[in-house]
Amino acid sequence: MLLIFLLLFIGLPLIEIYFLIEVGSQIGAMSTIGLSILTAVIGTWLVRHQGFSVLLRVRDMMDRGEVPAIEMMDGALILVAGLFLLLPGFLTDTLGFVLLIPPLRRLLIGRYIRVVPGADYPPPDAGRGPRVIEGDYHRED
C-alpha cells in the first residue's frame, strides 16, 4: 500500500512534468498552458453536467424506495474524474476524461464493485404503504 502511495505522489507528478515539457517543446509554452486550462474548463463543465444527472437519478431511486448503490458509485467516479481534470497535466486529464465516459464507468463499477442485496435494503414497494419499524422493548421502572 505504501508503494502505491509513493508511486502516486512521486511518480505521477514526474510523468506529468515530462509530458508537459514534451508538449511544450512541440507547441510552445503558452499553447501548452492554454491547452491545460481548456481541458480543465471543458472537464469542469462535463463533470457538472454528469454530476447533476447522477444526482437526479439518485433522488428518483430514493423516492421509489430503491437503494441507489450503483448511482452512488457512479457519482464517486465522476468526483474522481473532476479531481483528475482540475490537476494540471495531460495524463490526469486523459484519466479524467476516460472516467467521464458512462459505459466505461459502468464497466469499472461492474468489474470491481459487487452490489449484493441484503436484509438491510428496503423492499421494492417500500414507498407504497405505511412504514413499519419492528423492534423489541422492555420497561424499566
Rounded (10°) angle between helices 102-112 and 69-86: 120
Cell numbers at residue 1, please?
Answer: 500500500
pTM over 0.95: no
CA 13, CA 89: separation in Å to the nearest integer? 8
Asked whether 53 and 61 are in contact (CB, 8 A), the reply is no
pLDDT, tens digit only, all 141 positions of the chain: 788 888 888 888 899 999 999 999 999 999 999 998 899 899 889 999 999 999 999 999 888 888 888 888 999 999 999 999 888 889 999 999 999 999 999 898 888 766 565 545 555 555 566 666 777 878 887
CA 85, CA 50: separation in Å to the nearest integer? 14
CA 16, CA 11: separation in Å to the nearest integer? 9
Q: So what's the pLDDT on residue 119?
A: 43
CA 96, CA 98: separation in Å to the nearest integer? 5
Cβ-proximal residues to 29 (8 Å cutoff; 6+ apart), any chain: none
